[in-house]
Amino acid sequence: MNDYSEGAHPDVLEALIRTNEEKLPGYGTDYYSEEAKKKICKWINRDADIFFISGGTQTNKIVIDALLSSYEGVIAVDTGHVSCHEAGAIENTGHKVMTLQNEEGKLCANDVEEYVRCFYEDENHEHMVFPGMVYISYPTEFGTLYSKKELTELYDVCKHYRLPLYIDGARLGYGLCAGDLSIEELASLCDVFYIGGTKVGALCGEAIVFKEKAPKHFVTFIKQHGALLAKGRLLGVQFDALFTDQLYMRISKHAIDMAMIMKEELKKRDYRFAIDSPTNQQFIIVENDKLEDIKKHVMYSFWQRYDETHTIIRLATSWATTKEDVEKLFQYL
């Protein structure tokens, strides 16, 4: 159904248990938060300002509100998470989400170029919201991935117009295991990104990574947004575990392996795919009649209507998916 239906990966849970009785200072100033940050810096192979937040929408809201001036908006594709599935969280901070058409969930460098350029040409645009940054997700909401070439082109446009590029990595691990970008490359091709924990083995938690210094008084900013946990250890301990012995990538790889097995089986059974996704989310087109049957045995996510008689559903794998799960699935599909 999705990649957040179980609790934490056993190793993450184990870390919480092991450290539970330790007396640690609050608000993210604890030892484990510090360790986790160091490990992440090592992973991405550069210095960075890192902050832990409990959920993805919260993270998007905080980063975008922090990077934009009041008169600026954020560019995103129409299918971007911030555009349509965050209940107006971005607008709630006073900023417009400026949507461009997606190509299989992705934002095209050319479209951004064309859109932004006109703010510097033609007559003046003082009555319009200025583009202030660019938001993409990796993988996208459709499970697709930017190739290295695509991301490079997009970042080139961003740099040219001095628009910070922010990557929503809610499922970053799955993307890294399935695509042609290493984490070092990804980190070098944006200004800020977040490493999703909730959907990759944690109980909750995302790590914001600012390549340059974070905006001034960012901890106060987080507090103001209501997102500073008293027991910041909850996030620190989990991320410390996720970045010990490459757990984060191991979890991700496992989910991708399971997804590819599932994809193969779906192909064999002649399922039509709504989109060709290389990651842990697969979108298939099913007849409505058949769906009634499937519903009795399989938990899936309704994605959207395809036409009068068909529906697109999402099947997802995660760290918790086993081969047995996949096998069982195909008893009913």
- Scanning residues 120 to 179, which ones bind its own copies (CB under 8 A)? 122-123, 126-130
Q: Which helix (H) or strand (E) holds 61?
A: helix 56-67
Binding flag, residue 211, its own copies (CB under 8 A): no
Classified as helix, coil or strand, 8 is coil
Of 219 and 264, nearer to its own copies (C-beta) is: 219
User: Residue 210 carries which side chain, given as an amino acid letter?
Assistant: F
CB of 127 to its own copies, least distance (A): 5
Taken in order 48, 53, 56, 59, is the CA torsion positive or negative?
negative
Binding flag, residue 291, its own copies (CB under 8 A): no
Instruction: Find out whether 61 and 90 touch, Cβ atoms under 8 Å.
Output: yes
* Mutual angle of helices 109-117 and 148-160, in 10-degree steps: 10
Q: How far apart are CA 72 and CA 298, in angstroms?
A: 44
Q: How far apart are CA 144 and CA 281, in angstroms?
A: 9
Please tell me the count of residues contacting its own copies according to CB under 8 A. Answer: 79
Binding flag, residue 45, its own copies (CB under 8 A): no
Binding flag, residue 302, its own copies (CB under 8 A): yes
Exposed, middle or buried: residue 169 (CB in 10 Å: 0-12, 13-18, 19+)? buried
- For 242-247, the CB contacts below 8 A with 24+ separation are 242/9, 242/12, 242/36, 242/197, 242/200, 242/201, 242/202, 243/36, 243/39, 243/40, 243/43, 244/11, 244/39, 247/9, 247/11, 247/12, 247/201
Of 133 and 228, nearer to its own copies (C-beta) is: 228
Classified as helix, coil or strand, 142 is coil
Binding flag, residue 74, its own copies (CB under 8 A): no
Q: Restricting to residues 309-328, name those near its own copies by CB under 8 A.
A: 320
CB of 266 to its own copies, least distance (A): 21
Select from 18-26, 136-144, 271-279, 281-289 the region that touches its own copies (CB under 8 A).
Answer: 18-26
Residues in the chain: 333
Classified as helix, coil or strand, 252 is helix
- Extract the tokens encoding 278: 């290389």
Binding flag, residue 2, its own copies (CB under 8 A): yes
Select from 89-97, 140-148, 150-158, 272-280 the region that touches its own copies (CB under 8 A).
Answer: 89-97
CB of 201 to its own copies, least distance (A): 11
- Extract the tokens encoding 99: 């949507």
CB of 155 to its own copies, least distance (A): 24
Binding flag, residue 65, its own copies (CB under 8 A): yes
Binding flag, residue 299, its own copies (CB under 8 A): yes
Select from 14-22, 37-45, 109-117, 157-165 the region that touches its own copies (CB under 8 A).
Answer: 14-22
Select from 35-43, 61-69, 243-251, 260-268 the region that touches its own copies (CB under 8 A).
Answer: 61-69
What's 93's DSSP letter? G
Of 70 and 309, nearer to its own copies (C-beta) is: 70
Binding flag, residue 292, its own copies (CB under 8 A): no
Place of tokens 């390549």: 211
Select from 156-164, 198-206, 267-275, 276-284 the region that touches its own copies (CB under 8 A).
Answer: 198-206
Around Cβ 261, how many Cβ atoms within 10 Å?
16
Q: Which of 25, 51, 23 is nearest to 210 (CA)?
A: 51
Out of 36, 62, 200, 255, the residue judged to bind its own copies by CB under 8 A: 62
Binding flag, residue 26, its own copies (CB under 8 A): yes
Q: How far apart are CA 104 and CA 37, in angstroms?
A: 33
Of 92 and 182, nearer to its own copies (C-beta) is: 92
The contact mask relative to its own copies for 228-257 (x = CB under 8 A, - = no) is xxxx-xx-----------------------
